[in-house]
Amino acid sequence: MTLVFTPEQEELRATIRRFLAERSPSESVRRWMESEQGYDPELWRRMATELGVHGLALPEEFGGFGGGPVELGIVLEEMGRALLPSPYFATVALAGQALLASNDQAAQARWLPSIAEGALTATLAVAEESGSWRLEDVATVATAQGADWVLSGTKMFVIDGHSADLLLVVARTEGGPALFAVPGDARGLTRTRLETLDATRRLARIDLDDVPAEPVGPTGSDASGYLRTVLDLAVVALAAEQVGGTQACLDAAVEYAKIRVQFDRPIGSFQAIKHKCADLLLELEAARSATYHAAAVAAGDRSELPVAAALAAACGSAAFTRAAKENIQIHGGIGYTWEHDAHLYLKRAKSAEQLFGGPALHRSRLADLTGI
């Protein structure tokens, strides 16, 4: 499958890039990541009202613009490029896509319009103490009490879980894994912000002690089919963000190599630096191709999505981490300083690399899916 962006999609990319360049410069990113909320609420509101990106990939009937994974990927790529601290990934790429995949019309009508308006933040809680996002490893239990449900267990590494207004929690029922909605102020819910390597993306521990919850989608039967699709969509969304971060690191390295002079020559003229940049470009384009292909698959016939998602995840994680490391190396001593942004990208790269499992895990999954 070949993806060619339409003029409208290219204009979307240009608009997002201009907006973030003006509204989210490096000094703002540093200020927001050290703030109590971790992001700028005013920028969050403007992204929803002026750009409409919160509802970009949501159906028009729920206040969205009828886009899909391709448009969402464009936005996330530009956000990754700018290293934007924001609950956008958790709210739109995780919770929003989970609600859509559930086919629960009542849940969609209840929460998606608020997401599109920027009035609601949400997240998806899957991983537990092991850090695994495999549905087979979910131990949190959902228990039916008459017509009601309660959840008990612990969720770890929940993106923006400390502040989200709504948590979508994957829990185990007698029929298999299912999805449940929990308000951020629910009784028996304890949320603890975790100390993380990447200050631009916050993670939380969620403790559930007989917390009242509402089922989303089918319950009492195995919902792993659509939940696996949700996880594949999340992986593709993260890969798009990683492509943007990789591009930013390569751009910074190349620009510095042009102006840094040693032995009366720009260091970019040295063969060793040329080879580093050329190798990074090769990895970037491989990751970009895999990610764009996965987004196109997600927007169409999803039968190939597991393979496409695994490939995008493996390529995106490896490319971003290597680009972030080489960016520091090419910058030399200044690249190791707190004042330079290179370390921020490296921290995001390493954190994102492990978020849904490292490249080795995705390569192993890809091998299993293709019968290698």
pLDDT at 195: 95
Q: What is the domain-level CATH number for residue 237?
A: 1.20.140.10
Mean pLDDT of 48-61: 95
Mean pLDDT of 137-146: 93
Instruction: Say yes or no: 212 and 236 in one domain.
Output: no
Percentage of the chain surpassing pLDDT 90? 90
- This model's pTM is above 0.85: yes
At residue 121, the 3 state secondary structure works out as coil
Instruction: Say yes or no: 86 and 32 in one domain.
Output: yes
Instruction: Say yes or no: 115 and 153 in one domain.
Output: no
Comparison of pLDDT for 170 and 4, the residue scoring more: 170
User: Residue 285 falls within a domain, yes or no?
Assistant: yes
Instruction: Decide which of 99, 120, 141 is a domain's last residue.
Output: 120
Q: What is the domain-level CATH number for residue 62?
A: 1.10.540.10
pLDDT at 219: 73
User: Residue 61 falls within a domain, yes or no?
Assistant: yes
Q: Please give the mean pLDDT across all residues of the chain.
A: 94
Instruction: Decide which of 76, 104, 120 is a domain's last residue.
Output: 120
Q: Which domain holds residue 114?
A: 7-120
Are 204 and 193 within 8 A, CB to CB? Answer: yes
Instruction: Say yes or no: 332 and 262 in one domain.
Output: yes
Provide φ and ψ at 182, rounded to 5°: -130, 125
Amino acid at 14: A
DSSP string of 232-294, one letter each residue: HHHHHHHHHHHHHHHHHHHHHHHHHHHH-EETTEEGGGSHHHHHHHHHHHHHHHHHHHHHHHH
Instruction: Say yes or no: 135 and 111 in one domain.
Output: no
pLDDT at 221: 67
Q: What is the DSSP letter of 336?
A: G
C-alpha distances in angstroms, 60 versus 67, 106, 282?
9, 16, 39
DSSP string of 14-72, one letter each residue: HHHHHHHHHH--HHHHHHHHTSSSSS-HHHHHHIIIII-GGGTTS-GGGTS----HHHH
Instruction: Say yes or no: 113 and 24 in one domain.
Output: yes
User: Residue 108 falls within a domain, yes or no?
Assistant: yes
Answer yes or no: is pLDDT of 245 > 60: yes
Mean pLDDT of 34-45: 94
User: Residue 2 falls within a domain, yes or no?
Assistant: no
Predicted confidence (pLDDT) per residue in 188-230, tens digit: 999 999 999 999 999 999 999 999 999 998 876 678 889 999 9
DSSP string of 153-164, one letter each residue: EEEEEEETTTT-
Terminal CA-CA length for the chain: 22
Confidence of residue 257 (pLDDT cuts 50, 70, 90): very high
Instruction: Decide which of 187, 216, 245 is a domain's last residue.
Output: 216
Confidence of residue 1 (pLDDT cuts 50, 70, 90): low
Percentage of the chain surpassing pLDDT 70? 99
Q: Report how many domains make up the chain.
A: 3
Kindly give, in sequence order, each residue whose CB lies less than 8 Å from that of residue 89, ignoring residues fewer than 6 positions away.
76, 79, 159, 201, 237, 238, 241
Among the listed ranges 29-38, 81-90, 258-267, 301-310, which one has the minimum average pLDDT value? Answer: 258-267
Among the listed ranges 37-51, 207-221, 314-328, 344-358, which one has the minimum average pLDDT value? Answer: 207-221
User: Residue 146 falls within a domain, yes or no?
Assistant: yes
pLDDT at 3: 74
Answer yes or no: is pLDDT of 267 > 90: no
User: Residue 1 falls within a domain, yes or no?
Assistant: no
User: Residue 128 falls within a domain, yes or no?
Assistant: yes
User: Residue 88 falls within a domain, yes or no?
Assistant: yes
Predicted confidence (pLDDT) per residue in 148-173, tens digit: 999 999 999 999 999 999 999 999 99
pLDDT at 222: 75
Instruction: Say yes or no: 212 and 230 in one domain.
Output: no
Mean pLDDT of 346-360: 94
Instruction: Say yes or no: 360 and 272 in one domain.
Output: yes
Q: Which of 264-268, 328-332, 357-361 has the highest mean pLDDT?
A: 328-332
pLDDT at 48: 95
Answer yes or no: is pLDDT of 20 > 70: yes
Instruction: Say yes or no: 138 and 247 in one domain.
Output: no
Instruction: Say yes or no: 128 and 115 in one domain.
Output: no
Predicted confidence (pLDDT) per residue in 77-123, tens digit: 999 999 999 999 999 999 999 999 999 999 999 999 999 999 999 99
Instruction: Say yes or no: 167 and 302 in one domain.
Output: no
pLDDT at 29: 96
Instruction: Say yes or no: 114 and 141 in one domain.
Output: no
Q: What is the domain-level CATH number for residue 150?
A: 2.40.110.10
